[in-house]
Structure 1
Amino acid sequence: MANAVISLFKPKTLNLINNAVKLSNVLPITGVQNVRSLYSKSTLGIDGFTMQQEKTRMQMHNISDKFREKMNEYSNEDSKSMIFTEDLKNMIHLSESDEDIQLVYNMIKKFNAQNKQVRFGNYVFGPVVMRMLHLYGKHDMAWELFNSPEMDGFFDQVMTYQILLDLLYENGKYDEVLKAVDIVKSRQLEGAKYPRNVVVLALAACYKLNTKESLDYAVKMWQELSEVGHLPMRRATTFAAGLALNQGQPAIALEILVSCRNQNYTTIRNIKVAAFADLGRVEDAIPVLKSILSDDNPGTTVHTFNKDVIEKVKNAVVQLDNPDTSLEFNRIEQMLQKQGHIADTVLDEQLCSEIQRPPMMNNRDRNQGQYQQRYQRNTQNRGKTFPYTQRPGLNDLV
């Protein structure tokens, strides 16, 4: 751990870190470690997948049983019949039982083993298969397929990585998440060694593991990100800082928070206050607590602190045993309570809250589709039709 810290922080900061353990009386942030999906279904495209399922089931209602029988026959290793793109697409969207999913598994294996020269379509199966496996909680099968040498290239899409990692995370397979992240880094798909959502899930897994080893991994990743100029998403920042806090390294937590452009986010403020309390620096925590009182304007979102963070500061104030500081903190706490600035949630619950699909993404996808239709109409009117290419990965969100 020491080498990782030395390579990450400046000498002046190292002095702070070395003194952190002496200065701090660390009170762990408490809370229920709920295991659930980190990304919402809409963000992962699972909502859209289930809609397509319903559509396919309606279209194939009268022939679905016969179709299953035929696919069971075709997917047999001894069968000379081929699995076509439409066959696999339909069976994935018809799946509704363990038997169906096993059939899809067999079809995928044969489909990918077929001579690729006869497949002229550009349909990308990786995200769709992972959505099916995520929907039915088949994390073991997903992990097996992803690691299978014979499936090389089949699951190499950034969106596929995100769905797989979220599925592993949801099922508490945090070590597997980190193993998958290392594989993703080695592949550098589309020139990206650190896809943003992959980084979030990697640090989320580290946070859930909450061990010295996971902190070592997180600090090393943070160092690598800094070296390549990668600015992590806010959720990645708070997971890394929260882990450092839980591992009794509040100084590292504070240094990680510096990378966040907006210091006014609720999670950033909460971790910062908790870290100052752990360091025994109540005088630095109090101004942060007071800041949301002055920012409180009618009609705006009420800024809050988690109840366990407030309790942490209160304990630090008691240990400081300074009458003036105690008086000031009690006054601030009463004001926060009266004005509704103390949330009835713990920091862990807030850090692990579900990541929703931003409204701007919904608008962007809709506008993208409208632009595609206009573009094709215009080119057809000129007597020419040019291929339209979406931005990489955007079609995987559908």
Structure 2
Amino acid sequence: MAVAFRPPKRDVLQALRSLVYPGVGGSGSTCCRCPLGAKRYLLTNSIVKLKEFQHKKVAIACNLPGTKDALEVLIEMKNQDVKFSKDTYVLAFAICYKLNSPESFKVCTTLREEALIKGDILSRRASCFAVALALNQNHVEKATSIFSQIMNPESILCINLSLMIHIQSNMSKTLIEILKDATEGNVSKFVKKLKFSEEVLAKVREKVKDVPALLATFDELYGKLHINGQVTAYTLDALLCHTPKGLKSHMVHLNKRTVSRRTFQPLSQSLWAE
């Protein structure tokens, strides 16, 4: 029964392809799908390079000039039925977030729904990119729905995305309550305090500025947050595109390995065995 509800891969490919090559259809052979002169990324010949590329994920996706090149690689991966890993979904959603268009939102939504139907695991970071894109495209209900499915949304990124959802949902009083809880709730120095982006707090102030009582309360809370060291200069975009230290060390470790841990074959002969 699961197969009957699975979205056709052609729809995903066609949507992805239209982002990079507007007007190019999705029919014909694999070779015919690429426009004239387009670079091919044959997995049979470039497995290691593609794997290294995949692990650079957000660093590439957050660099606007290279975003569409990254999307081209994703299209080739889908053409050749390469199973998307958790990291690949992060890359795909990050690209869609950076392109920030109705078409990229559709692609992100389709890929996410397909992943859930197949039972693929979507990381918190991938979901955060999906939430941010939905907010940028003014799909607040969709952003709220995706955010509600994030496990352990206590990270600095999730906290600020939650504020953005409340801002765009016009929930001014709830915004003040969230900030009040953040300043009064964590009294122990051993408990990690919530941190808020200066950029997001500025948007909160803009939202409550027309209500004198809320504005006065916000200004008071804002001062407390600064005193407590709970305000960061990082923008929401910077928080989204930040590469965790753990991933960097993993990339170094990957570059040192030449043999697959699972198949004990050279990595150049392994099609993403891990």
> TM-score w.r.t. structure 1 length?
0.49
Q: Secondary structure at the match of 1:334?
A: helix
Gaps of 5+ in 2: 1-6, 8-37
The number of residues matched between the two structures is 226
Shift of 1:326: 3.2
Distance between the aligned counterparts of 2:261 and 2:242, measured in 1? 31
Distance change >3 Å, CA 326–CA 184, structure 1 → 2: same
State the partner residue of 1:182: 75
1:284 paired with 2:174, answer: yes
Distance between the aligned counterparts of 1:221 and 1:394, measured in 2? 31
State the partner residue of 2:51: 159
State the partner residue of 1:77: none
Distance change >3 Å, CA 184–CA 245, structure 1 → 2: same
User: Which of 222, 239, 261 is the equivalent residue of 1:390?
Assistant: 261
Q: Deviations over 1:49-87 (max 9, x none)?
A: xxxxxxxxxxxxxxxxxxxxxxxxxxxxxxxxxxxxxxx
Gaps of 5+ in 1: 1-6, 8-142, 370-387
Q: Deviations over 1:110-150 (max 9, x none)?
A: xxxxxxxxxxxxxxxxxxxxxxxxxxxxxxxxx83xx15xx
Distance between the aligned counterparts of 1:154 and 1:280, measured in 2? 52
Distance change >3 Å, CA 395–CA 204, structure 1 → 2: farther
Shift of 1:351: 1.2
1:303 maps to a residue whose letter is: L
Shift of 1:228: 1.7
Distance between the aligned counterparts of 1:183 and 1:196, measured in 2? 17
State the partner residue of 2:30: none
State the partner residue of 2:129: 239
Distance change >3 Å, CA 314–CA 164, structure 1 → 2: closer
1:308 paired with 2:179, answer: no
Distance between the aligned counterparts of 1:160 and 1:183, measured in 2? 16
Distance between the aligned counterparts of 1:165 and 1:274, measured in 2? 25
Q: Deviations over 1:231-276 (max 9, x none)?
A: 3112211111112222222332222212210111111110110121
Q: Deviations over 1:150-201 (max 9, x none)?
A: x551224672450575685346222232232132234344xxx221111111
User: Which of 132, 138, 141 is the equivalent residue of 1:248?
Assistant: 138
State the partner residue of 1:330: 219
State the partner residue of 2:33: none
Distance change >3 Å, CA 210–CA 227, structure 1 → 2: same
C-alpha contact 1:306 1:343 (8 A) present in aligned 2: yes
Q: Secondary structure at the match of 1:283?
A: helix
Distance between the aligned counterparts of 1:331 and 1:393, measured in 2? 61
Higher-RCO chain (CA-CA 8 Å, sequence separation at least 6): 1
Distance change >3 Å, CA 332–CA 361, structure 1 → 2: same
Larger gyration radius, structure 1 or structure 2: 1
Distance change >3 Å, CA 311–CA 167, structure 1 → 2: closer
State the partner residue of 1:376: none
State the partner residue of 1:131: none
C-alpha contact 1:168 1:176 (8 A) present in aligned 2: no
1:290 maps to a residue whose letter is: K
Q: Deviations over 1:81-115 (max 9, x none)?
A: xxxxxxxxxxxxxxxxxxxxxxxxxxxxxxxxxxx
Q: Secondary structure at the match of 2:65?
A: coil
User: Which of 65, 80, 92 is the equivalent residue of 1:172?
Assistant: 65
Distance change >3 Å, CA 298–CA 166, structure 1 → 2: closer
Q: Where do residues 86-101 of structure 1 align in structure 2 (5 Å cutoff)?
A: none
State the partner residue of 2:165: 275
Q: Where do residues 366-381 of structure 1 align in structure 2 (5 Å cutoff)?
A: none
Q: Secondary structure at the match of 1:345?
A: coil
Distance change >3 Å, CA 309–CA 152, structure 1 → 2: closer
State the partner residue of 2:100: 210
> TM-score w.r.t. structure 2 length?
0.69
Percent identical: 21
C-alpha contact 1:206 1:218 (8 A) present in aligned 2: yes
C-alpha contact 1:240 1:253 (8 A) present in aligned 2: yes
Shift of 1:336: 1.1
Q: Deviations over 1:24-62 (max 9, x none)?
A: xxxxxxxxxxxxxxxxxxxxxxxxxxxxxxxxxxxxxxx
State the partner residue of 1:83: none
Distance change >3 Å, CA 290–CA 221, structure 1 → 2: farther
Aligned-residue CA RMSD (Å): 3.5
Q: Secondary structure at the match of 1:225?
A: helix
Distance between the aligned counterparts of 2:186 and 2:74, measured in 1? 40
